[in-house]
Chains A and B, each alone.
Chain A
């Protein structure tokens, strides 16, 4: 039996809805170059939303681990960071692919692109740091401390610095507005797909994370005989 299946059904429904209606929905014609590629909003942008939510969950469990050092808290923290970074890398790749057609080259040194790349590199260091230690407890504790640092580096790299300069991303006219998305570009029809898409993709990330957590805890149980 699949444990607590109702939100998994929601995930399946929301993503099927996104992938069907996302192609059907009427989108506004923004400019000659954008055309129908604005539909990437339903696939590329939720990757970043998903990443931020998953990394937030990860840092919460890192703090929880420092307060109450259990294997469970550590397993949660690592699994969510892992899935979050996978989402981030997918966001970077899809962004580069889209940018190739939209901005003329896959990497134009856009502040948002650079910031996201730096943020992901900081998180990759988290996995390297963990991998470099053999002592499980030390690994978990130092990992949790670094996780908090890595999460707070998201503030400048994703949320502050890209807002201070001009960006190729929509809404990136310097200091005004969000450099990632421009709310004005989305009309009502797009919103009916965009928000379910964000929830659906995030739930998928949570699902994958829970599988990894359950696997880690099972493996722990088998090798150490304890829980």
Chain B
């Protein structure tokens, strides 16, 4: 289990470093040339973060109920 955790975190870190390199990549494609796609990307990311927060809050509420049910 510990091994899997370490491996997974390593992969995620590698992927995120990949992301930083993306800044350095230059290309004449329409997606990046006018920069407007970043607006769409930001919207998607905001929605994603919002959904994650919602999911987390549900998770916590259920965990709380589980704890209560256990103590009864």
- Whether A125 is near chain B, meaning CB under 8 Å from some CB there, is no
Q: Which of B22, B27, B29, B40 contacts A21 (CB 8 A)?
A: B22
Q: Which of A2, A7, A12, A21 contacts B60 (CB 8 A)?
A: A2
Q: Chain B contacts of A24 at CB under 8 A? A: 19, 22, 25, 32, 41
Query: How many residue pairs between the two chains, A and B, have CB atoms under 8 Å in the bound complex?
Result: 82
Give the interface size class of chain B: 35 or more
State the CA gap A218–B59 with chains docked (Å).
13
Q: Are B31 and A23 in contact (CB under 8 A)?
A: yes
Q: Which of B5, B11, B45 contacts A19 (CB 8 A)?
A: B45
Q: Are B31 and A2 in contact (CB under 8 A)?
A: no
Give the interface size class of chain A: 20 to 34
Q: Are B22 and A25 in contact (CB under 8 A)?
A: yes
- Whether A182 is near chain B, meaning CB under 8 Å from some CB there, is no
Q: Which residues of B contact A (CB under 8 A)?
A: 5, 8-9, 11-12, 15-16, 18-19, 22, 25, 27, 29-32, 37-38, 40-41, 44-45, 48-49, 52, 55-56, 58-60, 62-63, 65-66, 69
- 8 closest residue pairs by CB, A with B: A23-B41, A24-B22, A13-B12, A19-B44, A214-B62, A21-B19, A17-B15, A10-B8
